[in-house]
Amino acid sequence: MNAAVPHRSRTTRLLGLLPRRFVTTRIGTAERTLYLSFDDGPDPGFTPPILDLLKAHGATASFFLIGDRIDQHPAVVERIVAEGHTLGNHSWDHPFMSDLPLAGQLDQIARTDAALARYDGHATHPFRPPCGVLPARLLAHFARIGRGIAFWSYDSHDYERLPADILFERMQADPPGVGDVVLMHDDSADSVDLLARLLPQWREQGYTVRAMPRERG
């Protein structure tokens, strides 16, 4: 169970070869900074304790929200924005985008952008495809309209629903580094417990933990 796992996948490495105006995986920075992101919220049970941890450690993060959950938990979304975090688009109902025609993919994104706009006033938002499934036609469409995809470079594997001590131990063997965009989720107690271990360690190591910088999209 404690065997090494790939925190940096072949897919993210290949996407990292593309210009950042098309796909962001990691972020070049002269500062000792990690970029933290959470997928699959908002969750009324787990997003608030994550926000508590971020606030206690002076950290900010990007929250890639699922559209049909946004208005179910408005107070959670309002708190994310009020505390200086950024909102991202994680589709309307978390499909495999490759199962949809391009028109369906774009509808998923547009509906979620509209829901997010009611909270932060931005017409469009950084988009992250569910499960990292990024169809070539969608990537090409975004490239044509000058909109980037917000991916990640370092996968915490917290979605595996393993105890936090195991996830933490695995990450020690291959930790994130300067400029990495760290993928986590705000929908389980495992993620909350893992974050509670990571934030103090990162601070001791001299890292600043920030949301992904907002660019186009």
In sign, the C-alpha dihedral spanning 30, 126, 23, 158 is: positive
The larger pLDDT score, comparing residue 1 to residue 209, is at 209
pLDDT for 22-60, tens place per residue? 999 999 988 999 999 999 999 999 999 999 999 999 999
Q: Which of 39, 40, 43, 187 is catalytic?
A: 39
Distance CA 183, CA 162 (A): 16
The larger pLDDT score, comparing residue 63 to residue 1, is at 63
pLDDT at 137: 97
pLDDT for 92-110, tens place per residue? 999 999 999 999 999 999 9
186 Cβ contact partners less than 8 Å away, ≥ 6 residues apart: 38, 39, 40, 41, 42, 43, 46, 47, 50, 63
pLDDT for 168-193, tens place per residue? 999 999 999 999 999 999 999 999 99
Q: For the chain, give the mean pLDDT.
A: 95
Q: Which of 40, 113, 185, 186 is catalytic?
A: 185
Which H helix or E strand runs over 91? none
Alpha-carbon Rg of the chain, whole angstroms?
16
9 Cβ contact partners less than 8 Å away, ≥ 6 residues apart: 155
Establish whether 185 is a catalytic residue.
yes
pLDDT for 106-127, tens place per residue? 999 999 999 999 999 999 999 9
Q: Is the per-residue pLDDT at 4 higher than 90?
A: no
pLDDT at 217: 39
> What phi and psi values does residue 39 have, to the nearest 5 degrees?
-110, 160
Q: Is the per-residue pLDDT at 1 higher than 60?
A: no
Q: How confident is the model at residue 129 (pLDDT cuts 50, 70, 90)?
A: very high
**Could you tell me the two tokens for 196?**
């509670």
pLDDT at 216: 45
Establish whether 165 is a catalytic residue.
no
